[in-house]
Amino acid sequence: DAGITQSPRYKITETGRQVTLMCHQTWSHSYMFWYRQDLGHGLRLIYYSAAADITDKGEVPDGYVVSRSKTENFPLTLESATRSQTSVYFCASSEPGRKETQYFGPGTRLLVL
Partner 1 sequence: GENVEQHPSTLSVQEGDSAVIKCTYSDSASNYFPWYKQELGKRPQLIIDIRSNVGEKKDQRIAVTLNKTAKHFSLHITETQPEDSAVYFCGGGSQGNLIFGKGTKLSVKP
Cis peptide preceding 106, ω within 30 of 0 = no
**What residue spans of the chain are helical by DSSP H?**
none
Longest dimension (CA), the chain: 42
Which residue, 1 or 62, is less far from partner 1 as judged by CB? 1
Site map for partner 1, 69-108, x if CB under 8 A? ---------------------x---xxx---xxxxxxxx-
Distance from C-alpha of 58 to C-alpha of 46, rounded to nearest angstrom: 5
Asked if 8 interacts with partner 1 (CB under 8 A), we say no
The site for partner 1 (CB under 8 A) is made up of: 1, 31, 35, 40-45, 48, 50, 59, 90, 94-96, 100-107
